[in-house]
Amino acid sequence: QAELGKPQRNCYTLPGFDFSYGLYIHRTDGGVPEAIGHWNTVKPKTALVQKMPRDFITMNRGALKAGYTTAHEFNLYYKAKDIRRKDDEYSRFKRCPPKVPADLTYGITARPCTPFFDLLQHKYKELWMEQQRALTAAQRTEKKKKNKVCETRTTFLRKLPLPAKEESFWHLPRLEKV
């Protein structure tokens, strides 16, 4: 039965003070004192000394100066003289960051305030009405252009008929030259 004058409890009873929540991982978990006392931070990695890519432009120039012309001779020259690119030329991370002014703010600028005076004067309605009037006027002129009849050969010939041919009687072809 519920206790008199108190709301009924709808939760479980918690375990005692000696109970630890979560998983315990042997050898790596030091518990709460370890978490409070030490921060497991990621240590910065030292830059791995990596082989720079080959500088083929310089090697090709050297091979041509040496008088090599075939692909086999070029490969032998590449094995003999392995020239690599310079570090500062290859890496874009070693360049200085761009100089920016001290008062520069990064991000998107805030939207300008809504002018309430224009709202009270119904200026936006007037602008919209002007746009609609200009649009309807443009549509009317477009419609007038469409109603104009295009000139075709038939209409052109109706206006300016061809001159009538002179009527000639038919003659036998052998009597034409007579």
pLDDT digits (tens, 9 = 90+) for 50-67: 677 888 999 999 999 999
Alpha carbon 14 to chain centroid, angstroms? 55
More confident position, 70 or 162: 70
86 closest CA partner among 63, 57, 115: 57
More confident position, 156 or 168: 156
59 closest CA partner among 40, 37, 90, 83: 83
For residue 84, what are the β-bridge partners? 54
Is residue 54, in this structure, part of any structural domain at all? Answer: yes
Q: pLDDT averaged over the chain?
A: 80
CA torsion angle 61 63 68 74 (round to 10) = -110
Is residue 154, in this structure, part of any structural domain at all? Answer: no
**What is the distance between the alpha carbons of residues 133 and 137, in angstroms, rounded to a whole number?**
6
Q: Which residue has the tokens 């041919």?
A: 165
For residue 54, what are the β-bridge partners? 84
Q: Which domain holds residue 66?
A: 50-91
89 closest CA partner among 118, 60, 57, 114: 57
Is residue 148, in this structure, part of any structural domain at all? Answer: no
Give percent of the chain above pLDDT 70. Answer: 79
Is residue 119, in this structure, part of any structural domain at all? Answer: no
pLDDT at position 2: 63
Residue 90 clears pLDDT 60, i.e. is over it? no
**What is the distance between the alpha carbons of residues 60 and 68, in angstroms, rounded to a whole number?**
9
Q: Phi and psi (nearest 5°) for 54? A: -70, 145
Is residue 72, in this structure, part of any structural domain at all? Answer: yes
Count of domains observed in the chain: 1
